[in-house]
Chain A
Amino acid sequence: MPRKRDLKKILIIGSGPIIIGQAAEFDYAGTQACKAIREEGIETVLVNSNPATIMTDKGIADKVYMEPLTEDALIKILKKEKPDGMLAGFGGQTGLNLSMAMEDKGILDELGVELLGVNRNSIKKAEDREEFKKLMLEIGEPIPASTIATSMEECKEFVDKIGYPVIIRPAYTLGGTGGGFAYNDADLKKYATRGMESSAIGQILLEKSIAGWKEIEYEVIRDAKDNCIIICSMENLDPVGVHTGDSVVVAPTQTLRDKEYQMLRDASLKIIRALEIEGGCNIQFGLDPVTGDYVVIEVNPRVSRSSALASKAAGYPIAKIAAKIALGYGLDELTNYVTQSTSACFEPVIDYIVVKFPKWPFDKFRTASRKLGTQMKATGEVMAIDRTFESALLKAITSLEVKCDGLRVPYVTNLDDDKLMKKLADCDDERIFCIGEAFRRGLATVDDIFEMTKIDRWFINKIKNIVDMEFTLAKEKLNKNLLRKAEAMGFTDSEILELSGVKREVLQDMRLYHDIFPIYKMVDTCGGEFDAATPYYYSCYDTEDEGVRGSRDKILVVGSGPIRIGQGIEFDYCCVQGVWALKELGYEAIIMNNNPETVSTDFDTSDKLYFESLHMDNVMNVVRKERPEGVILQLGGQTALNLAPDLDSRSINILGTHFSNIDLAEDREKFSNLLHELDIPTPEGHAVTTREEAFEIVEKLGYPLVVRPSYVIGGRAMQVVYDDDELMRYLKEAVSLSTEHPVFIDQYIVGKEIEIDGISDGKDILIPGIMEHIERTGVHSGDSISVYPHFSISDEVADTIIDYTKRITKALSIVGLVNVQYAFDGDKVYVIEVNPRASRTVPILSKVTGVPMVKVAIAAMLGQSLKEQGYGTGLYPRSANYAVKVPVFSGAKLVDTDMVLGPEMKSTGEVLGIDPNLDKAIYKGFLAANMHIPTEGTVYVALRDYEKNDNSADIIRAYNAKGFDICASKGTAEFLNERGIPAQEMSMDEYKEALEDRIQLVINIPTLTNHSETLGFAMRRLAIERGLAVLTCMDTAEAFLKAIELKQKNTDLDYRLVWE
């Protein structure tokens, strides 16, 4: 069946901002889909509010609407564009939900738009618990005893019948939000209530728990002719009970006999056929390790995180093929993109093992419970490929950037035996390290650990092999055989050095003399059976090296690793742009990265892809193999930049800004001195080692102050303090003060925060735009709403900023990208920070201004002057649009984390609101961030003392004037009443009750954050869980008023293309 000829124009729905459970994988899938459709000569129209994505860039889709993913926006865009078809299966749950809404409203029928790939029926049957259950019963596929409930009574009735434990899952949610295990009545009440609340339709599934069974996943593709194939099978190391997004996952399955494998394969085909999916889908099974019985856990009728992983693991581009199928192609009419000669209708075979390891945000959210369960907590993941499980696991671990060189992390190593065993039993993010440590201390046998964790003994035995090798290295004299064995098992040089006690030179010489270096093998989808044309490599210590060094000049781009808070998809955007720019300039562009979710690790993005850990050892091995002309570090965020000292000391050519200047910009003291020399103001700061010293500084600088420790011990890190009490409390509670661990105290400049991104060729600088933050200084730039272009500062201030930027850039001899953050206190402009690398806002400015920043930067790094490049120098002419970046928090996922704005970043993603009118752009930004914008009802207000001022009173008065009733905490109510604002005092109990109906918005500026025992924390959580907006900065509250005003007026929004 060739493709449907009547399709001339197709609209693709993106997935919007990155949140836990819906991350970079959809940029990867969407980009592939756009490319696959466009190459058919079909016009593509993309709607996505996420500016950090590759898919929203010029050249991927024909038309891009960077607009909120709301029903209103989509209806208007559909009406305007009149596409022939719509693809919803590439935008995650957001895409599916929106497409369902369009169908429900009859829009698609009205406009004659065909829903491609998925259909209403498949979505409903796969996602609605009851329908799914019915279907499974119909086709005879086993599912756990379960019931659908919309009330507590129904829950109780079910449990009375089948007993505990039960698992609770809400219907229609992302990443398992709101689910949990209940072992007793109290658990049941807690999770059932929360689940019903977080479900879009107030519906939950109660299910007999199969915790402890093996969790197996299959990625399946089906075409309209009913051809079905399995792309990849995956086995979760963590048994059922831990969300697959939080599990260590291997591909292919390891502990299944062929019979078991085929049994689940048959079931997968049966299910995808019954659902009539045309495209990709993910099916999860539970397999009883004792009886071999299985149950179907869940089906995702679309591409997902798992399909991105499966695509990278097997080398088979699922999204691309799924898009082609949506156009009508049969699998047997398509070619295998990797071999370019064989058919796409085959099942990839793997001749290596893949380990996926989640990346959790607990280093940022130190108070969050690290315990893993049915609710996903990871923000990203890494993948490693190798010939054995041990080496793939160790590679994955060193990819996590948790400061470890092997299966040991200091925290676990330092636990006493009891605490260690307790932590092991607790199932948290460090369990694998605990297992290793338990073996190391001889506290448990393989069987003991199996009993405690239910992790299959196969995995436990392999972990034990790693520990056994540690002992061997410590005990035996290092010789060539042992060294080769240890390296082949995935041990890093640092780990071997530490365990064996030999000197680095000795190790180096042994490697050289005996030629113990990794070789590179190709990922080819067919286990070597056919010739492959795709340059996708992984390292291993085996015999035949398949890596062939090309003859062209080559440049290595180091990627940004897993998605985490503070380092998101925007850096992958920069790396991909960088690779493309290098290709255009005629270089062989080589990338190394370890993130399976991203576009940078797609097999056809670069000229050569090394899917590798970004540990120094692995980077050096690739450098040794390829001997590139230069290495680019400034695109891969802090991950890549952190490699600069080591690469520089080995005399490896780092392109762009010289290492000594990177170091200068990153060293607080040196940089401060430089600014003094340049006569550029910067907040004064000092390091203190005693309380006395701290208070001396207070004398000198005065409050407020920014305080942060040089060494984080848990508890709080950076904070703004306003008086002696707060400072004292900080010094006492949050940090241990000593000469080894000083605390930095900086002057806190209260005022506007302004940020620029620029490109320099060493002589001139091009500044695409200036961005002004809505929130005052003290809020991390990643968490503040920022507006391009600047809208409130005077030309004089802007000129000063440009002048300072030019001088700093010159002094640091910046070549390539630079980001500078400023504060303006109404009088003076201060430099807060200079980042000599790509920043979070590069994709935004590139898209809004049309200056391809990374491309220009790459050309500059390779010697082309800015003047030659034709984008001019100095400040680029402003665009006709305002662009408002609004951060998005995954607050609903991390129940014990306080999403209060402050100096530490907490958001996981961002959206952009674009409009020629600033207020409308702001409104669009809030809409795109999916914030609940009320038009009536009650606003609850609680302000810290410092905020009880005129400005706050004016803002609350404005809310009142817009028709909102004001309720407040005791102190705040008194303050507001004094200012003539009618505010009703409200107790916690009243608040809880009022949340159910009256309260529509919470404005809460807390004194203490992240203290789960405080009342404020509980209040904020309750509101977040009810889907209300909780504003924790008065500036946000002020901006939010604009959105409310426009919504109250029923303002009609225009949705436009980013580029006409």
Chain B
Amino acid sequence: MAMNSILPDAAPIAGGVLGRVQYWFACFFAVGWTGVVCGGLYYQFVEWEYPCPLCIVQRMFMLLAAIGAGVIVRRGMDGTVSGRDYMMGWGLSLVAVMAGSFASWRQTMLHILPGDKGYGSEVFGLHLYVWAWILFSASVVAIGIVLAFAHSTADRALPPSYRLPGQLVLGFLGVVIAINVVAVFFEEGFHWFLPDDPTRYELLYDLGILD
């Protein structure tokens, strides 16, 4: 068997009807995690809750996972996604969701004992970090399924019309990361770390706007 025949780039340039599933799933994955971070921003600015340090860490892992899928989305915008690109993207996302799963598990365990009310609001009966743990774990399974069916879902050639959706996905991700840069700067101010239980936007006090 020739060596190049077992390499991913030897897969068909364009497969069957399912050949573009991975590209669209990468878009969904990136938008999905970005949307989850938007949920955190909703509770921060609409419900006026202050995200704790571990909440912020989980947002970072979510955005790193989205960037992994973003690698595939970006390559697809130019019409060619190699096997290396698919593997690199999903590999990065897998590492990020595993790390995020640990962070959210840790925060869940902090509040697992009977009588502990947990940190922040509940959504459908579960706290945000419990949902994060569920979604991180589900993402591991999803990436496994995607990789298992890569032979028929990962076309190397994509149509030029995929450029616009790719730009929208990466633009959405970029805007949400930028909002987080500003939001956490306000919460942290000119300090190296967030307090364990934040109760105010430190920057406003550091600048003397509030006393």
Q: A and B bound?
A: no
Residues on A lying within 8 angstroms of B by beta carbon are none
